[in-house]
Amino acid sequence: MPGPIVRVAPHEVHLSDPEHYDKIYTVRSKFSKDAQFYGGFANPNSMFTTPSNELHRARRGDLNPFFSRKVVFDHETMVQEKVNKLMGRIEEALDSDMGLDVHHGLRAVSIDVITDYAFGESYRLLDQPDLGLQFFTLVQRLGPAAWLFRQWPWVKPVVMMMPKKVVYFLSEPMGFVRDLQSHCKEQIDQLIEARSTVHVDKDREIEKSTIFTSLLPTTGNIDEATKTVVGDEAYTVLTAAADTTGNAMTTITHYVLSDPKIYKRLHAELKIAFSSNQVVLDYASLEKLPYLSCVIKEGLRLSFGVPGRLPRVVPDTATEFESYVLPPGVGASLEPHKLGLQANEKFPDEAGKSFCAFREGQQSLPRHEVSTAFIMAGGYAAVFDDRSSLAYCELYVTIGTLFRRFPNLQGNDLVGEELAYDDYFSSYTPLHARKLHVMAADPSKTG
């Protein structure tokens, strides 16, 4: 039944008015995460899954320094390196009838950046022939397991104690959860081993501090409990980079390639700002370009790091929504997918799902209309909710470089379920669906 407030479970309501966003989801909100919903993930010690607001702030505070504006600019060279590698792959593929799989290529940029930044060593997915297909398949298959754990919470501790071969026999998605957990633990063990074998002079600071070396104790033995906590954060970092930033870049690329007018105007703006297509397109200059910013904002509105509801719990004081008073302990949520599409209703001359990269007379959009992919994703993605973030740096540098360097690309025609999302949690199209590829545009179809 449609309406501004709908009861979707015995103890949960769904809201449709974006004006409720700030009350529920901002960092200062007293609403906490739903423990059963977020308990469905296999990283209970991470910031992303922490129900307590106080503990969440503490864990978030440990990561915040790594995503400050200054630190992001200091590491921009790392982003530029990965983006240029993708551009090289595209150039090599333009003579191929199949073109290049940018669905996974754009996600590979995000993973190679965050692994270099977080672990001190990139996964180098951009160097792999399939651009990390096996890794992204692993991450995508985590979704069904989280759904099962959420519906039957007692299953998760049982699965975590079973031998991995037995888990795979019972449920392949649950086996993938165990695989990624093991992978993250190995990454942390390698960091610890590498650090213990490197001699550092007392009078000299370590030149390159990574996220996870900073979370580990600097002296003494590191116990298994600490390794588990840091491993859970690693689990979140990897899945968040693959799910949110990569999906946003793929969505933006698809819509720009689908509309020649947007493509032409975007390329023209970038060409004026950067006279050569071989120069470095720096983040500081790119974020000042108005049309590029509109394209990115609109892409964020229509990409969904998490398309489904994200429940929060009413705090100790009863709260009123739409003339209904909700008692403490009741769940309340908004749905990013509906919220993003609803933004267009403010512009009656446009269809709800259209991509319109320019709003006449409007330089910016309210926050809830702009960033459903990051702000509404919550948890780790909330680290990326301002213009100084690493995610925005990736977005501006990747999209800017792509459409400055290549004025005549075209994408394969995706239809139906190839553009639909499997709603387990993150925004993934079905595994068997065709993915976005780019190729040289047909000269007969370009003006």
pLDDT 10s digits, 309-346 = 888 999 998 888 888 899 999 999 888 777 766 654 55
Q: With bands split at pLDDT 50, 70 and 90, how would you rate the model's confidence at 349? A: very low
What is the per-residue pLDDT for 347? 47
Tokens of 151: 């519906």
Name the token pair of 87.
Answer: 């551009």
What pLDDT, on the 0 to 100 scale, is given for residue 197?
Answer: 55
Residue 58, pLDDT > 60, answer yes
Q: In terms of Cα–Cα distance, which of 102, 107, 105 is closest to 436?
A: 102
| pLDDT at residue 262, as a whole number | 92
Environment class of 310 (CB within 10 Å of its CB; exposed 0-12, middle 13-18, buried 19+): buried
User: Which pLDDT score, from 0 to 100, does residue 22 have?
Assistant: 79
Confidence check: pLDDT of 189 > 70: yes
Given a cut of 80, whether residue 52 has pLDDT beyond it is yes
Task: Note the pLDDT tens digit of each residue in 352-380.
Answer: 456 765 554 444 444 444 443 333 433 33
Residue 199: pLDDT over 60 = no
Q: Comparing 274 with 159, which gets the higher pLDDT?
A: 274
State yes or no: pLDDT of 396 exceeds 90.
Answer: yes
Q: How confident is the model at residue 195 (pLDDT cuts 50, 70, 90)?
A: low
Three-state DSSP class for residue 122: coil
- Which residue in 303, 442, 444, 371 sits closest to 21, CA to CA? 371
Average pLDDT over residues 407-418: 88
Q: Is the pLDDT of residue 1 over 90?
A: no
pLDDT (0 to 100) of residue 201: 42
Give the residue, 263 or 336, on which the prediction is more confident: 263
Task: Identify the pLDDT of residue 209.
Answer: 64
pTM: 0.84
Helix (H, G, I), strand (E, B) or coil at 110: helix
Region 134-158: what's the mean pLDDT? 83
The pLDDT mean for the chain works out to 79
Task: Give the separation between CA 339 and CA 368, rounded to whole angstroms.
Answer: 8
Looking at residue 381, what is its pLDDT?
38
The predicted pLDDT at position 50 comes to: 84
pLDDT at 286: 96
Tokens 């093991």 — which residue?
Answer: 182
